[in-house]
């Protein structure tokens, strides 16, 4: 995603992230009427429709490489769909109109609308292996943590690097039966857990932020969410490590046939090879690093975060919009 300056030199397009935020804002606001109403499909459908419409106005020639179709059998924003107005550079696009559809449907905290974009051909292709064992933390963990080590060793090493007691470390884990032993091991090491119902992206981004109340995010979650999280981690200077985790023999065979080494540890540059990656998220319901959509008189207020890996820039954007003017 580059543009030519007056000397004919190519440089990253600084405006793209600011255009993308309009799409996540639209998705978050359109989903808001469905928050807490128990219908996650209706919430997701509203978000998908709004995001797709706004993406069509963005200056890029984007190809969806992580979309709704593969994961949720959706008719729009499917893998391979071309988005943007065709005027910008070629790029890979990863979308999650609602990260945490159940959170939104039940009115719980942590639902986000998310887009990640990077140079074309730079995002990892998991070949329909939907799950990955992941470890995410902030810059203090660089060269310190290792997904191949026992969780207790990683907790102690990270605590030492951060200059805190092990008891001060908080580890985010998806609350799933598959993580029962992992949760027990974290607590046995002396650290605290933060169990999350859903919101794989939010959990990872929180762990990579320097001012978060979460120090580490571990466990088996979505592979697409891992790739999206990697775009944020590259901007934040943190650590992400992952290993594909096929859910059954059929998926394992498909992965091996596609040439994947299931023992390989994938790091940030493996998941997103470009140094010019963008991560954009708007809160639907409030998360640790972004507020959810709120009614302010006749307006809806949305808060977004925009990250760019090339410059390490992180921006917070607040927008007030009048829904009566929506078409």
Mean pLDDT, residues 60-72 taken together: 77
The CATH number assigned to the domain holding 64 equals 3.30.540.10
**323 annotated as ligand-binding:** no
pLDDT tens, 141-187?
999 999 999 999 999 999 999 999 999 999 999 999 999 999 999 99
Radius of gyration of the chain (CA): 19
Q: Are residues 153 and 210 in the same domain?
A: yes
Q: Is residue 248 part of a domain?
A: yes
Specify the number of domains making up the chain: 2
**99 annotated as ligand-binding:** yes
Q: Are residues 102 and 223 in the same domain?
A: no
Mean pLDDT, residues 94-107 taken together: 94
Q: Are residues 72 and 173 in the same domain?
A: no
Mean pLDDT, residues 299-317 taken together: 93
**225 annotated as ligand-binding:** yes
Mean per-residue pLDDT of the chain: 91
Using H for helix, E for strand and C for coil, what is the string for the chain? CEEECCCCCEEECCCHHHHHHHHHHHHHHHHHHHCCCCCHHHHHHHHHHHHHHHHCCCCCEEEEEECHHHHHCCCCCCCCCEECCCCCCEEEEEEEEEECHHHHHHCCCCCEEEEEEEECCCECCCCCCCEEEEEEECHHHCCCCCCCCCHHHHHHHHHHHHCCCHHHCEEEEECCHHHHHHHHHHHHCCCEEEEECCCHHHHHHHHHCCCCCCCEEEEEEEHHHHHHHHHHHHHHCCEEEEEECCCCHHHHHHHHHCCCCCCCCEEHHHHECCCCCEEEEEECCCECCECCCEEECCEEEEEEEEEECCCCEEEEEEEEECHHHCC
Let me know: does 130 contact 247? Beta carbons within 8 Å. Answer: yes
pLDDT grade, residue 75 (50/70/90)?
Answer: low
Residue 305 has pLDDT above 50, yes or no: yes
**69 annotated as ligand-binding:** no
Q: Domain range spanning residue 170?
A: 131-271
Q: Are residues 258 and 146 in the same domain?
A: yes
Residues 6+ positions from 280 with CB-CB distance below 8 Å: 17, 20, 21, 23, 24, 114, 115, 116, 117, 304, 305, 306, 307
Q: Is residue 46 part of a domain?
A: yes
Q: Are residues 36 and 106 in the same domain?
A: yes
**44 annotated as ligand-binding:** yes
pLDDT grade, residue 285 (50/70/90)?
Answer: very high
**315 annotated as ligand-binding:** no
Mean pLDDT, residues 293-304 taken together: 93
Q: Is residue 125 part of a domain?
A: no
Q: Is residue 9 part of a domain?
A: no
- What percent of the chain shows pLDDT beyond 90? 78
The CATH number assigned to the domain holding 204 equals 3.40.190.90
pLDDT grade, residue 74 (50/70/90)?
Answer: low
Q: Are residues 265 and 282 in the same domain?
A: no
**200 annotated as ligand-binding:** yes
Residue 69 has pLDDT above 60, yes or no: no
Residue 3 has pLDDT above 60, yes or no: no
Q: 292-306: buried (b, 16+ CB within 10 Å) or exposed (e) per residue? A: bbeeeeeebbbbbbb
Residue tagged 């540059």 (tokens)? 269
- According to the model, what pLDDT value does residue 80 have? 87
Q: Are residues 208 and 137 in the same domain?
A: yes
Residue 311 has pLDDT above 50, yes or no: yes
Q: Are residues 240 and 164 in the same domain?
A: yes
Q: Are residues 135 and 218 in the same domain?
A: yes
Looking at the whole model, is its pTM more than 0.85? yes
Q: Are residues 175 and 226 in the same domain?
A: yes
Q: Are residues 157 and 49 in the same domain?
A: no
Q: Is residue 126 part of a domain?
A: no
Residue 317 has pLDDT above 70, yes or no: yes
pLDDT grade, residue 7 (50/70/90)?
Answer: very low
Q: Is residue 157 part of a domain?
A: yes
Domain end marker among 229, 254, 271? 271
**177 annotated as ligand-binding:** yes
- According to the model, what pLDDT value does residue 117 have? 95
Q: Is residue 189 part of a domain?
A: yes
**100 annotated as ligand-binding:** yes
**178 annotated as ligand-binding:** yes
**153 annotated as ligand-binding:** no
pLDDT tens, 219-272?
999 999 999 999 999 999 999 999 999 999 999 999 999 899 999 999 999 999
Distance CA 161, CA 192 (A): 17
**176 annotated as ligand-binding:** yes
Domain end marker among 226, 255, 271? 271
Q: Are residues 187 and 79 in the same domain?
A: no
**222 annotated as ligand-binding:** yes
Q: Is residue 166 part of a domain?
A: yes
Distance CA 268, CA 142 (A): 11
């Amino acid at each position: 995603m580059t543009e030519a300056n007056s000397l004919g030199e190519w440089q990253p397009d600084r405006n793209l992230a600011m255009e993308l935020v309009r799409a996540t804002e639209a998705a978050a606001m359109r989903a808001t009427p469905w928050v807490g109403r128990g219908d996650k499909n209706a919430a997701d459908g509203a978000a998908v429709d709004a995001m797709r419409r706004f993406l069509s106005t963005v200056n890029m020639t984007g190809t969806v490489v992580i979309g709704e179709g593969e994961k949720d059998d959706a008719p729009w924003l499917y893998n391979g769909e071309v988005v943007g107005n065709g005027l910008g550079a070629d790029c890979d696009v990863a979308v999650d109109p609602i990260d945490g559809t159940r959170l939104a449907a039940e009115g719980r905290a942590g639902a986000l609308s998310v887009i990640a974009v990077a140079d074309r051909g730079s995002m990892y292709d998991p070949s329909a292996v939907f799950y990955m064992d992941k470890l995410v933390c902030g810059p203090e963990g660089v060269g310190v943590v290792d997904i191949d080590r026992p969780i207790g060793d990683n907790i102690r090493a990270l605590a030492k690097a951060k200059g805190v007691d092990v008891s001060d470390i908080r580890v985010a884990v998806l609350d799933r039966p598959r993580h029962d032993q992992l949760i027990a091991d974290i607590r046995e090491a002396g650290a605290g857990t933060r169990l999350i119902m859903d919101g794989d992206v939010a959990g990872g981004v929180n762990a990579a932020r320097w001012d978060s109340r979460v120090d580490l995010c571990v466990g088996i979650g979505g592979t697409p969410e891992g790739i999206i999280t990697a775009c944020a981690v590259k901007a934040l200077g943190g650590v992400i490590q992952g290993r594909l985790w096929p859910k059954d023999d059929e998926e394992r065979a498909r992965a091996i046939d596609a040439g994947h080494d299931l023992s390989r540890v994938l790091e940030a540059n493996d998941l997103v090879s470009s140094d010019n990656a963008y991560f954009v998220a708007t809160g639907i319901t409030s998360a640790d690093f972004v507020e959810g959509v709120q009614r302010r008189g006749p307006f809806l207020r949305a808060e977004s975060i925009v990250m760019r890996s090339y410059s390490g820039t992180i921006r917070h954007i607040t927008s007030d919009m009048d829904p009566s003017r929506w078409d």
